Chain A
Amino acid sequence: MGSYVPSTREERREMLRAIGLEDYRDLYKDVPQEMYLDRPLNLPEGMSELEVSRAMKDMANKNRVFSTVLRGAGAYDHYIPSVVKYIPAKEEFLTAYTPYQAEMSQGVLQSIFEYQTMICALTGMDVSNASVYDGATAAAEAAAMCRDRKRRVTLISAAAHPDTINTVRTYCYGTNDQLRIIPAKDGKTDMDALKEMLTEDVASFYVQQPNFYGQFEDAEAMAELVHQAGAMYIMGCNPIALAIIKTPAECGADIAVGEGQPLGMPLSYGGPYLGYMATTTKHMRKLPGRIVGETVDAKGDRAFVLSLQAREQHIRREKASSNICSNQALCALTAGVYMASMGPEGMAEAARQSMAKAHYLASGLCAIPGVSLKYSGEYFHEFVTLMPKADEVLAALADADILGGLPVEGGILWCATEKVSKDVLDKVISIVKEVLS
C-alpha cells in the first residue's frame, strides 16, 4: 500500500493520546453510528510507486499515438517548444494555490499579468481576464455578460464548434434564457438569416473565426449588423490565426474569446485547455473570473494583486454574474511561455505554415478524381472535402500511422499544422489516390 502520511504508527498513537483520544474512531464520534461505514471500501489494494507507474503505463499503451495528426475540430496539434514543457513543471508554479496572498505569489501574479497583456496584444482588446476553463465556457460566459433586463436572447452561428453551441445552450438553460441558432449557408453564417433574427430582444451574437469548417467569416460586416440592432458582438477566434488575421478589435467585437489550447497545450484527450476572454474598457467590470492588476506595495514598489474583486462571488454571492472563482493559471502560464518563446514572428510563421500546409493538402486531394471541397470560401488550416469511400480512406491512413480528418456531415474535416512535412502530405495524397482508384 502506498501512503503519503509521514507519521509512524507510534507517532500517531502519541498524537492521539496528546489530544486525549484512544483511537481513530473517537475522531468521528459526531458521525452517527447508523451511517458510519463499518466495512472496508471496495477498492483495490494500494500500490507502490513502481507498481502504479507500471499499471498506468499499461493504460497509456492501450491508446494509439499517431505519428501524424490531420484532425483538428477544436483541438490542434501544433509544435510545442521544449521550454514550454519545462517551465510550468516547476513545483513552485505547479503546486501553489490561487494567489490570494500576494506577498507569497508575485511570480504567479506577474505571469498572469503578462499573459493578460499578451492576450490583449493578440486580440487588440483593452482588458483580458486571467483565463477561464476552455473556449466553450468562455463563449458561454461572454454571452452571459451581454444579457440585461430587456435583452435576454443569445444568437450563435451554426458554423460554430458543436461543443461550444451545446455549452452555451446549457448555460442559457441555467438562467432560463433562449439560444437561437443562425443557420449556415455554404459553410458560413447565413448573413440574411442573421439580419432577420437580430430582433430587439437579442443581447448578443457569437461567431467563430475561422469557423468550425475552417472558413473565414465576414466578421466586419457582421459587426455592423449586430451593432445596428443594438446587440453585442462576440468573436471566438483561433489564437494562432490571430497572429496574422484581423483582430477582433479591428473587426469591431465587444468581447473576444477562444480556445487557448493551440498556445502550447498538448491534445491530452480534451484537457486541460484554457479559455481566453478579453473585452473593451467599457465592459471591463462585467468581465467574469480572476483579473490581475498592477499596484504598488507599502514601500512604493511595483506589485501585482487579484483585482476588481467586487465583481466576484465571494463578495456578491447570488448577485455575482458568474460563480467562477479560479482560472486555468498553469495553462495561462503555458500560453504565456509559448507566446514569448514564439514571439510575434514565430507565431505568425506557425499560422502561415499551418495555412500553407492545409492549402497544399487540399489542392493535392482535390486533384484526385471524385474529391472536391465542400465549401467555396477562403479558409485557414481546416477544410471539408467530399469524397467517396471516406471510411476506407481513413482506415488506409491509419494503417500508415496517420490520423486522418474527422468525418462530418457527409464529408471529412481536415486540419494541417506546421508540424506536418511536405513528404507526409504527399504520402497522404498518394494513399487517398490509391484507395479511390
Chain B
Amino acid sequence: MKLIFEKSVKGRGSSILGKCDVEYAALPEALARTQAPALPEISETDLSRHYTELCHNVHGVNCGFYPLGSCTMKYNPRIDEEIAALPGFTAVHPLAPADTTAGCREVLDKAGEYLCEVTGMDGMTFQPAAGAHGEFTGILLIKKYHDSRGEAHRNKIIVPDSAHGTNPATAAMCGYQVVNIPSAPNGCVDLEALKAVLGDDTAGLMLTNPNTVGIFDENILEITRLVHEAGGLCYYDGANLNAIMGAVRPGDMGFDCIHMNLHKTFATPHGGGGPGAGAVGCKAHLKEFLPTSALMEGEGALQMRSFAGNFLVVVKALAYIMTLGREGIPEASANAVLNANYLMRRIQGTFEPAFDRICMHEFVLDLSEFKKRTGVSALDVAKSLIDYGMHPPTMYFPLIVHEALMLEPTETESRETLDWAADIFRKLYELAETDPEYMHNAPHSAYIARPDEVRAARTPILRYTAE
C-alpha cells in the first residue's frame, strides 16, 4: 500500500488550530530553520483511512491466537484502556503539587504493595519503561549494593547460556564481565558449572525460573544459597512470572531483586512493541538504591528515565490485579500452565516437545528430526501458521534447542482454540510429507510474501525520499 507521503497533496490538511489571539513573537533569523519540514499534507478523511488500512495488516492478541513463547500474549481487557484514558489520570502534570496528585500516588503505592506480595519483595519502583530497562535497573541495584559495602571489585555477572540476549547485554551496560555457564541438558542450571565460576569476584547471577524452556529449576534454593555464600546477589528475570503467581514467589526462592513485565503478566497491551513497563522489586537491603526522579523526589542513588515511569501502564496493570484479586491471580497462572500442558499433549505425536515432562506456562518443540526427514524447517512451519490466522510461536529460541518453536498459549484461550491450534499443527505435520515446497513458500495469503531481509540490511532504506 502507499505511504502516507505518497498520498500527500500540497495545500491539504486539517483545521486544528485557530487564529492566534495575541501578537506573534519574532524568532530571530539566525535561529529559524530555512525550510519547512517535509511532513505529509493530508486531509483528515485520507488520514483516518490510511491508518485504518494499516491496522488491517496487523494481528493483535485481541484479534486472534498469539502463542508467542516468552511473550505472554494474553487478552488485553478493554476496561483497563477505558480506565487509563480517564482525564483524572491523563491530564495530570508529573510536576503538579503533591496535594493535587494523591490519586496517582495511590495507584503507584497500591500497585507496588500488591506486586510485592505476589513476588515476595519489600520495595518496588515503576520507573523502568520496559523489561530490558528493568533488568538494567536490577543489576544497577546490585552494583550500588556492592559499592556501598566497599566491594566494587566484584565485577562478574553469571548468566546461563539459555538466557535471553538482554541478560548479557544488560550486564555489559553495568560494566560487568559476563560469565556464561552451560546449562544442563534440560535447560536448568548445572550446579557444578555454577560452583566452578563462583568466587570473590562474583557480583551476581541472572536467572529466570521457570527457565527459558519452560521448566521449573528444582535446585533453585541451592543455587541462590551458593551465590549468596560467595557474596553475590541473585537477580530474577520475571519474563516467566505468569507461570507461578500464587504458587511460589521469587523472594522465597532466594532472589534479591526482580523485574516484571507488566505488559506480559499483568495484561497491559504491547502496543506493537511498547510502551510496556518493567517494574522492579527488591528486598529490604536494596531499597535505599531504588531510582528517583531529580525533579519529582530529588536526586537519589539512581535515575532510569524522566519522572515516574510509564504511569498509564501501571494504571492498567493495577486495574487488572484488582479485577483478578486474591483468587484470580493464582487462577490465571494455574490455567496458563494447564493450557500449555494441554496444548503440548495435543500436539505431541506429531511435532515432539524438546522435553517430555510437565511444562510450566510454555513449552518448546524440537523440529530437528522432522526437518532432517522432510526438509521443512521451524521457520517454514511458523510461516505456514500465518495462512491460518495464527501468529507463529517464537522461533529458534532458546538457542540450546535446535529448530525450536516455543509456544505459550496463556490462560485466556479456550479449549476450542487450543484444539483448533493443535489440529493445524497436525495438518502442517502431514502437509510437510506431501508438499514441502508449498511450506517453503508460505505464507500464501498474507499481505506480503516472505520479505528479503538480507537486502534490507545490505542496502538500507530507512526513510522515504521523494523521487
Contacts and interface: CB of A to CB of B under 8 A. Distances in A.
A binds B: yes
Given A65-B87, A313-B165, A347-B37, A303 B451 contact: yes
Interface stretch (B127-135, B190-198, B279-287, B428-436): B127-135
A320 B341 contact: no
A174 B142 CA distance: 11
Interface stretch (A159-167, A188-196, A197-205, A226-234): A159-167
B309 A271 contact: yes
Contacts of A95: 60-63, 76, 269-270
A267 B5 contact: no
A154 interface: no
Contacts of B41: 343-345
A107 interface: yes
B103 A62 contact: yes
Given A27-B334, A95-B269, A47 B169 contact: no
Contacts of A418: 17, 20
Given A130-B273, A329-B272, A37 B252 contact: yes
Contact of A104 (B100, B269, B391): B391
B253 interface: yes
Interface in A338-385: 339-350, 352-353, 355-360, 378
Contacts of A359: 25
Nearest to A62: B103
B331 A3 contact: yes
A256 B329 CA distance: 44
Nearest to B261: A326
Contact of A272 (B16, B129, B341): B129
B423 interface: no
Contacts of A273: 306
A317 B270 contact: no
A87 B415 contact: no
Given A93-B272, A271-B311, A322-B173, A5 B331 contact: yes
A269 B253 contact: no
A342 B16 CA distance: 7
A43 B325 contact: yes
B305 A136 contact: yes
Nearest to B116: A42
Interface in A1-44: 1-7, 11-12, 14-16, 18-19, 21, 24, 26-32, 34-37, 40-44
A107 B77 contact: no
Contacts of B400: none
B383 interface: yes
Q: Which residue of A32, A336, A340, A350 has the most chain B CB atoms within 10 A of its CB atom?
A: A340
Contacts of B271: 88, 93-94, 96, 328-331, 333
Interface in B265-300: 267, 269-276, 291, 293-296, 299
Contacts of B118: 41, 43
Contacts of A183: none
A399 interface: no
Contact of A81 (B16, B86, B275, B413): B16
Contact of A133 (B14, B129, B221, B452): B129
Contacts of A243: 33, 36-37
B328 A3 contact: yes
A350 B129 CA distance: 29
A213 interface: no
B57 A75 contact: no
A307 B457 contact: yes
Contact of A166 (B94, B294, B345): B294
B34 interface: yes
A64 interface: yes
A434 interface: no
Interface in A201-246: 216, 242-246
B338 interface: yes
Interface stretch (B67-75, B226-234, B364-372): B67-75
Interface string B238-272: 00000011111100110000000000000101111
Interface string B44-67: 100110111111111111110010
Given A92-B59, A101-B386, A111-B51, A323 B273 contact: no
A124 B39 CA distance: 12
A319 B32 contact: no
Contact of A41 (B131, B276, B326): B326
B412 A4 contact: yes
Nearest to B90: A266
Given A47-B325, A93-B60, A96-B60, A360 B273 contact: no
Contact of A103 (B86, B274, B318, B450): B450
Interface in A135-162: 135-137, 161-162
A97 B456 contact: no
A83 interface: yes
A409 interface: no
Contacts of A271: 129, 275, 305-313
Contacts of A298: 441, 449-452
A6 B412 contact: yes
A75 B63 contact: no
Contacts, number: 675
Interface string B440-467: 0101001111111101110011111000
A40 B330 CA distance: 9
B457 A326 contact: no
B315 interface: yes
B350 interface: no
B456 A246 contact: no
A325 B133 CA distance: 9
Given A4-B74, A75-B307, A105-B272, A340 B39 contact: yes
Contacts of A113: 3, 462-464
Interface in A47-75: 47-49, 52-53, 55-57, 59-66, 69, 71, 73-75
B273 A53 contact: no
Nearest to A86: B48
Interface in B366-398: 382-383, 386, 391-392
A81 B47 CA distance: 12
Contacts of A24: 334, 338
A61 B117 contact: no
A46 B324 contact: yes
B405 interface: no
A280 interface: no
Contacts of A161: 295, 306
Contacts of B68: 97
Contacts of A329: 271-274
Top 9 A-B residue pairs of the complex, sorted by shortest distance between their CB atoms:
A60-B88, A270-B307, A46-B325, A330-B271, A95-B60, A272-B275, A62-B103, A270-B94, A329-B273
Given A48-B323, A97-B73, A97-B391, 13 more contacts: A19-B338, A21-B341, A30-B215, A44-B326, A46-B322, A60-B83, A61-B88, A63-B88, A87-B55, A93-B58, A103-B386, A352-B24, A360-B23
